[in-house]
């Protein structure tokens, strides 16, 4: 279906400036990775504390 639409367009389409340039996607992806990494590190620390016989911080 996309091929049919693309062949009927007479020329290249000009994109507007308000489109996501990719930097926002990069920033949100990095924030998600950092957040996930910090949660995993906290879970490992809790597991080590519990294995050592200390209180579980959760």
pLDDT of residue 19: 64
pLDDT of residue 37: 80
pLDDT, one tens digit per residue, over 4-49 is 776 777 777 676 666 666 788 888 888 888 887 888 888 888 888 8
pLDDT of residue 23: 82
pLDDT of residue 9: 73
In a domain, 8, yes or no: no
- The verdict on pTM exceeding 0.75 is no
Considering its fold, how many domains does the chain have in total? Answer: 1
In a domain, 33, yes or no: yes
Asked if residue 38 lies in contact with residue 45, where contact means CB atoms within 8 angstroms, the answer is no
pLDDT of residue 39: 82
Rounded-to-integer distance, Cα 57 and Cα 46, Å: 6
Rounded-to-integer distance, Cα 55 and Cα 9, Å: 66
In a domain, 11, yes or no: no
């Amino acid at each position: 279906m996309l091929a049919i639409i693309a062949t009927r367009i007479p020329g290249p389409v000009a994109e507007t400036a308000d489109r996501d340039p990719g930097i926002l996607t990069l920033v949100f992806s990095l924030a998600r990775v950092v957040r996930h990494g910090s949660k995993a590190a906290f879970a490992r620390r809790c597991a080590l504390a519990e294995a050592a016989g200390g209180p579980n911080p959760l």
